[in-house]
Structure 1
Amino acid sequence: MRRSSKKDDFIIENIFEEGNIIDDKKIIELYFERNEQAIKETDIKYGKLCHKIAYNILNNLQDSEECVNDTYLGVWNKIPPTRPDNFKAYISKIVRSISIDKFRKQKAKKRSADMVMALDELADILPDERYAPSRNDEEIGKSISIFLNKQKEVVRRVFHLKYFYFESNIAIAERCGFTERKVTHMLAHTRAQLKEYLIKEEIYL
């Protein structure tokens, strides 16, 4: 079981320069006006982020490009009536979900080892839908968000990079200035604590 495609919105650092890029609220207003400039502005501001998320999952440029295009179409169809409070988190969640769906459907020979490992690690601590069918993804996602908000910022950042953006442990170590061993230990410790928390909250069965 791999539920990680529907976890609550996770927000990490801005990974690109914004320069004169317009405000998110203005982009959202363009969607409400049904102005196609909205998609162009979305691509200018969040194109790099969307491609990064998709590529980390699919490890294929063409497939990633398709998922990003599908993301823009999805946003266009959802806004309006949806008016997201955090557009960056909103679009990140959409491209991530679309990319994971494509990954699963492919049953491909070439899969991202980092993603497979991350999903397997999460599967070990999330409730099995066979025994906890009443626990939906939104409920689980909220519980994970509550748990993470109680952790130190660096712990949250490492967790987000690993399980939301599917960064390798080595990449996370370089980004955070840690050793790979420290990142591995932090993730294992956080997963163990998360599992205990889910058990306490009667989410894990």
Structure 2
Amino acid sequence: MEDKEIIDLYFMRNEQAIRETDIKYGKVCLNLAYNLLNNIEDSEECVNDTYLGTWNKVPPTRPQNFRAFILKIARNLSLKKLDYCMAAKRTSHKIVPFHEVDELLGNDHFSKKIDDEQLGELITRFLRNEDQTMRNVFIRKYWFFDSVEAIAKRYSFSESKVKSILYRSRKRLKIFLKKEGIWI
């Protein structure tokens, strides 16, 4: 079923919308959650909460890109679950790959005030100017939380090539942010 038809089902408040969403996007949402949480039960809970969140947001929202819309919900819920688990030391989950960009983004020591949305827009602009391979590797690592090994397998690269792509892209992102007045 096409995304537009699924969205129309949500607007009609037809529960078939959730089943169709699960058929089309359930696996990718579960993979995203599992990559972050490394726990199948928590991941399944996040996917179910994603469907509830989608049900509550559509309507009134009519997403232009339904896949991105639902994955953003799944990702945010997974991050919240990870925060909850780690705050209470309820987990031995792998640490999210943000430690790699900590040196890049610093500890809120930006030269000018910038909120998360503005930073997201800048990173999106940066990625649009990068070649597709670099962009795909960067997104798989920092948005979907895929491991270096999984990315290498997905694109038939060596792990060292993936690490190199990520390292170079972080350096270019730092330069880009400086040009935009964000000194780190």
TM norm. shorter chain > 0.5? yes
- The yes-or-no answer on 1:52 pairing with 2:31 is yes
| C-alpha separation in 2, matches of 1:131 and 1:152 | 27
**Which structure has more helix as a fraction of its residues?**
2
Contact 1:129 1:135 in 2 (8 A): no
- Which amino acid counterpart does residue 43 of structure 2 have in structure 1? S
Which blocks of at least 5 consecutive residues in structure 1 are unaligned?
1-21
RMSD over equivalenced CA pairs, Å: 1.5
Aligned to 1:110: 92
1:26-37 maps to which residues of 2 (within 5 A)? Answer: 26-37=5-16
Contact 2:50 2:73 in 1 (8 A): yes
1:139 equivalent among 115, 118, 128: 118
Contact 2:111 2:181 in 1 (8 A): no
| C-alpha separation in 1, matches of 2:51 and 2:175 | 38
Change (3 A) 1:129 1:41: same
| C-alpha separation in 1, matches of 2:113 and 2:6 | 37
Q: CA deviation at 1:57?
A: 0.4
Instruction: Say which structure, 1 or 2, has more relative contact order (CA 8 Å, 6+ apart).
Output: 1
Identity rate of aligned residues, in percent?
A: 49
- The yes-or-no answer on 1:152 pairing with 2:126 is no
TM-score (norm 1): 0.84
- Which amino acid counterpart does residue 173 of structure 2 have in structure 1? L
Aligned-partner SS, 1:112:
coil
Which blocks of at least 5 consecutive residues in structure 2 are unaligned?
none
Q: How many residue pairs get matched?
A: 181
- The yes-or-no answer on 1:163 pairing with 2:142 is yes
| C-alpha separation in 1, matches of 2:169 and 2:114 | 21
1:191-202 maps to which residues of 2 (within 5 A)? Answer: 191-202=170-181
1:11-90 maps to which residues of 2 (within 5 A)? Answer: 22-90=1-69
| C-alpha separation in 2, matches of 1:180 and 1:51 | 24
2:154 equivalent among 166, 175, 193: 175
